[in-house]
Amino acid sequence: MELTNTLTMKREQVIPHEPGVIRMYTCGPTVYHYAHIGNLRSYIMEDVLEKFLRYEGFRVDRVMNITDVGHLSSDADTGEDKMLAGAKREHKSVMEIARFYTDAFFADCEKLNIRRPDTVVPATSRIADFIQMVQTLLEKGYAYQAGGNVYFDTAKLNNYYVFGNQNREDLAVGVRDTVDADANKRSKTDFVLWFTKSKFEDQELKWESPWGLGYPGWHIECSAISVKELGEYLDIHCGGIDNAFPHHTNEIAQSEAYLGHPWCKYWFHVLHLNDARGKMSKSKGGILTVSTLEEKGYDPLAYRMFCLQSHYRKPLTFSYESLDNAANAYKRLIERVAALSEEGEPDLAAAQPFKEKFLAALGADLNTSLGLTVLYDLLKSDLTDATKRYLVGDFDQVLSLSLLEKAKAAAKPAGAEVPAELAAQIETLLAQRAEARKNRDWPAADAIRDQLAALHVVVKDTPQGVEWHLER
């Protein structure tokens, strides 16, 4: 497939380092609050990318970090410590906050049909690796100590990489915002690898290191976790475009200095979700979450549909009006699938041209809206219902809109009372699911979710507990 590589600002054919295997890294959430739907846009599009690569036949090894430390709003020790602010706001410890919002993040992902990456690594579980990487950077002369902290020396690089021209301006802003903040830096673009001196003296989480009691800088976790889990050559690094500078720039600097050779080949960045006020961000307050959408009566998958309707390289503007349009389109799509007869066998030869169109659409820089068009085209075509159903299921491996499941539920007549025996069975499963989630036994929780889905149970997690009803 071809992707727009932010490293070169060109559309390029994806050719992995090892044939047949894609090693993919994703910057995970900073777990101090619920994810807003703007963040989740990135995770939805990354999920489509992963699933499409699998659909094309690649093995995809995907790793995501969880930022539960190294969480400053900027690496210059300015701004607020987000984790600590979250802990203070909710009168909890930093680790309690991290665990709660990590679970909340994956619960949102589940509702949006975002597959959990194979490997999920909380930053706090890898402090020894970060220390080792910083140590090596010091030994190689790419880092220096000043005022108690360890800094990366960007002047030692032949090229301090900044993505595309668009980020020159961000660089200027970043430098301007941080220039007075830290007199220890030799160059304005230098960044902290390890803190022992910080304005956050009440930091809850600190670790022993060769440079004193402290904690890692913002960027080191992604480099260290990626190199350890995915090796020295990374194929695709994903993230929201706001991570491109300084976070990804600094990841490249320290990873390549550490490894001594180029590191990641393709950078996949998803553009912002805007609202009427501009870019959606947690700091503006009043954030939109998956729960907000559910409370307003939207199926979270209608939001996934909304995201799939536009291209990931374009900023997307959110309004309830446009979400309504997506929700209606989603509902009509399910109705069309529900109207297909379940009789007969698919004609695979007749399906093939549509599969090829779908591959071509998604293969052209992940053009999801064109992929949806192919889906509509096949529903309009003169293929048999069985072939149409087959293709809907086939494409939905990538789109993940639960089309066949929703259609099956929609086709059933509206149920009357739930039989007592079934209700008891559902309650038992829900109790098992709660237990599995409490024990963070995700495979078990997923298996129970599948069983509940097979029974057409719609589960909703509310502040008052779990609610459920049968799909009509």
Residues that bind Zn ion (CB under 5 A): 27, 222
Rounded Cα distance, 9 and 91, in Å: 45
**Cβ atoms 386, 346 nearer than 8 A:** yes
Q: Pairing state of beta strands 273-275 and 234-240?
A: unpaired
Rounded Cα distance, 358 and 32, in Å: 39
Q: How far is CA 393 from the centre of its chain?
A: 24
Give the DSSP H or E segment for 267: strand 264-270
Q: At its nearest, how many Å lie between Zn ion and the CB of residue 27? A: 3
Identify which of residues 27 and 121 has a Cβ nearer to Zn ion in the complex. Answer: 27
Q: At its nearest, how many Å lie between Zn ion and the CB of residue 443? A: 26
| Tokens linked to 366 | 């992940």
Identify which of residues 27 and 399 has a Cβ nearer to Zn ion in the complex. Answer: 27
Identify which of residues 27 and 372 has a Cβ nearer to Zn ion in the complex. Answer: 27
Identify which of residues 27 and 192 has a Cβ nearer to Zn ion in the complex. Answer: 27
Q: At its nearest, how many Å lie between Zn ion and the CB of residue 63? A: 11
Give the DSSP H or E segment for 465: strand 465-470
Q: At its nearest, how many Å lie between Zn ion and the CB of residue 26? A: 8
Q: How far is CA 317 from CA 200, 296, 311, in A?
A: 36, 19, 12
Q: At its nearest, how many Å lie between Zn ion and the CB of residue 221? A: 7
Strand partners, 194: 150, 216
Q: At its nearest, how many Å lie between Zn ion and the CB of residue 345? A: 47
Q: At its nearest, how many Å lie between Zn ion and the CB of residue 359? A: 30
Rounded Cα distance, 289 and 81, in Å: 22
Q: At its nearest, how many Å lie between Zn ion and the CB of residue 226? A: 8
Q: At its nearest, how many Å lie between Zn ion and the CB of residue 430? A: 35
- Residue 144 CB neighbour total at 10 angstroms: 18
368-380 and 348-363 helices, crossing angle to 10°: 160
Residues 6+ apart with CB under 8 A from 15: 265
Reference 367, options 308, 325, 316; nearest CA is 308
Identify which of residues 272 and 433 has a Cβ nearer to Zn ion in the complex. Answer: 272
Identify which of residues 205 and 222 has a Cβ nearer to Zn ion in the complex. Answer: 222
Q: At its nearest, how many Å lie between Zn ion and the CB of residue 191? A: 13
Identify which of residues 189 and 255 has a Cβ nearer to Zn ion in the complex. Answer: 255
Q: How far is CA 332 from CA 142, 294, 329, 377, 406, in A?
A: 57, 19, 5, 14, 11
Reference 191, options 244, 151, 148, 220; nearest CA is 151
Q: At its nearest, how many Å lie between Zn ion and the CB of residue 255? A: 11
385-399 and 368-380 helices, crossing angle to 10°: 170
Identify which of residues 25 and 318 has a Cβ nearer to Zn ion in the complex. Answer: 25
Q: What are phi and psi of 153, to 5 degrees?
A: -95, 95
Identify which of residues 39 and 368 has a Cβ nearer to Zn ion in the complex. Answer: 39
- The amino acid at residue 53 is L
Q: At its nearest, how many Å lie between Zn ion and the CB of residue 247? A: 5
- The amino acid at residue 76 is A
Q: How far is CA 424 from the centre of its chain?
A: 36
Q: How far is CA 374 from the centre of its chain?
A: 26
Q: What is the DSSP string of 188-215?
A: TT-EEEEESS-S-TT-S--B--TT-SBE
Identify which of residues 27 and 308 has a Cβ nearer to Zn ion in the complex. Answer: 27
| Tokens linked to 358 | 């779908």
Identify which of residues 27 and 362 has a Cβ nearer to Zn ion in the complex. Answer: 27
Identify which of residues 152 and 318 has a Cβ nearer to Zn ion in the complex. Answer: 152
